[in-house]
Chains A and B, each alone.
Chain A
């Protein structure tokens, strides 16, 4: 069965909470941002705590993306807290 991989990235306080800034995730098919979130949350511990928070935002290939946005092979999906620039 063909599989695809996507790159996940974590920023700021979320990165500190999870203890990692990036990973490669293997998926068996196209999926959604929301499904990836659930998968990460299912790891338990700090992952469950972090991804239970609705304030964590997400993007796919540098564009803001809600839970229904599709994720395909080689996409870059990032998760981060509300932004505080300027």
Chain B
């Protein structure tokens, strides 16, 4: 599965038919100096931590993944079976590139990586997620995070 044209017809049809919200012109945060960028990662892969509660298929909130949590503790609990999981199974960075982000800090591409990253269950309507996104924004600001890289699956 690569581009839409490489997908099975049923998968293409499903993606084409998905209700995409019309959100108009996006807001725009002016450019931030690289040295001042502190970046958090936000996944939609329904990542859970081993031994903790499973994530409901329609969960509107997010999981927090602290830097101290080893990749080995992370599992994919997403409700969809229609995306590849073998990449994540071999390397968590395919979905949540914490190690890559740290390396880019060392390169000077950004100033710092957030100590905590986040994962939503990516099968929920945006309206239901809105209050949790607002909560996340507050948490990011409180932690000095001024940028986020979002990685849908």
Does chain A bind chain B? no
On A, residues with C-beta under 8 Å from B are: none
